Amino acid sequence: MTEKREFDYVIVGGGAAGCVLAARLSANSNCTVLLLERGKRDTNRWIHIPATFFKALQSEDADAVVSKPDPSLNDKPFPVPQGRVLGGSSSVNGMIYMRGQARDYDDWQEVHGCDGWSYKDVLLVFKRQENNQRLGDPYHGTNGPLIVADPATPHRVTAAIVDAAVSAGIPATDDFNGEHQVGAGWYQVTAYQGQRQSAAHCFLQPALQRENLTVLTGHMACRIVFNGRRVSAVEAKDEQGNDVLLTARREIVLSAGSFHSPLLLMLSGVGPRDELDRHGITIVQQSEQVGRNYQDHVGVPVTRRLKDVKGLHGADRGFAALRHGLDYFAFRRGLLMSNLLQAGACADTTGDGRADVQYNFAPFAPGLPGQPPLPFHAVQVHPMTMRPESRGRLGLQSKDPGAAPKFDSAALSSATDLDTLRRGVRLAREIYAQPGLRDWVGEEIWPGRDVSSVAGSNSLDNAIREQARTIFHPSGTCRMGLSADSVVDSQLRVHGVEGLRVADCSVMPALVSGNTNAPTMMIADRAADFILADNSTEARRVSEALSTDTRSPR
């Protein structure tokens, strides 16, 4: 027997966007709100301790979508881990708070036709969300629910890399989200006093006692049900596999991320004709761009062995782990207070005045994609593309809603992106060569002394293709715009149907120049604005109609 429940709003996906949206809609209306999440509650201790985010990523609170063999990566697959828990990736990420560049958002409006999404429009939302512990006007807020702070317990190896980056010609900065993004310095982070500041912690948790908000975890959305061209319900399965029908009186909002939002649209009959016909799915709305426009930041960690200085190798094992645990739980101090990815740089490697390569600096080093960290003390200066031109595509493996999407990553299919990483590697080597840092580092692990990065040499390309990896920022698969080849309009309504929106990083027409957690929460907040405005307009219309009827002669 199918369990049936009814709400005003049904939000599919309890990640960063869904948590923000559920909190806003339940606080600012008297409507009933359901937040539906396929994962669990965020009770895993590794989620909340900043330094253990890598353990959360390796737990059941995260899973990965893996691409088909990618020709642009020497036919290797491209795995992209994502959060599968309340808070989504904001519960398992590295907690870097970065919004992107002003021009990113101005381009959304001016180039991609997304009216109302210019930098001046979105800055207001970033500021009202933020409770910044150091910075204020004109670029930061201090009264919002999201605590943003400087990183705890700065590591001396990371400090040496920051100094070396400045010595190499990157200007120093104390704010990557201020007037200018170019610079090297310490990140601000969504961690404070030893607690991860996820969307679940900051936005959703304070709202959980509201009577008009329901949160269902362990429920997988299977299909959106349409009545004509208007959405009416979500078909789902609970943890035991029982059928559940969740009716929405007003709207359904997909906040399931760049993989699962387009997947659910296609399973429900909204997507490319060839994809739906192949699986025998009745077309509700032909939308050729659903699942297309996939993009991600791609990086390669330039790695050196540390000589007489210790990094973080072995800090999670044996006596060292016990000491760090005691410091954290007894005294709220030490390494576990840190998000580990404490600093970085945004560099202009083309000379056009706009940063095009982001670097993460860290006193530890990963192995090959999918492999454990290196088994010795090492350091990384990790360049990554900021505005990738490569575009992948998602499709359906089958009509089974539990099946992963068919994923063509095309991660480095654009020659421009490969060239950006070449420049990034060259500058990373210059950073390592600076006084102060060069005496601390030894053998170059990657790309290695036999690989030349001199301009004009192609010997670096194969090494890049072997090491290239996601920076965990998939986006663009339900892109926003006014044209017929976009998926949602500038108020995030799905073209061609009624009562359905998408509100997550899948709507980005072009990936922002930086980390995506903050922009995703901003997108959800704007979606709430649009929904509440429509709700107010509808209430006013009904009130006026009733008033007119009351005045009518009997």
**Active site (catalytic) residues:** 473
Contact (CB, 8 A) for 27 and 207: yes
d(CA 99, CA 516): 7
d(CA 57, CA 216): 22
C-alpha 388 chain-centroid distance: 15
Task: Dump the DSSP string for 371-434.
Answer: SPPPSS-EEEEEEEESS----BEEE-S-S-TTSPPEEE--TT-SHHHHHHHHHHHHHHHHHHTS
- CA-to-CA dists, residue 80 to 462, 486, 506, angstroms: 21, 24, 14
Task: Dump the DSSP string for 56-111.
Answer: HHTSTTEEEEEPSPBGGGTTB--EEEEE-BTTGGGGTS--B-----HHHHHHHHHT
Residue length of the chain: 554
d(CA 499, CA 446): 51
Contact (CB, 8 A) for 46 and 22: no
C-alpha 215 chain-centroid distance: 22
Instruction: Select from 463, 553, 486, 478 the least CA-distant residue to 523.
Output: 478
Sole residue written with tokens 């990373």: 428
d(CA 448, CA 463): 9
d(CA 473, CA 507): 13
Q: What is the DSSP letter of 240?
A: T
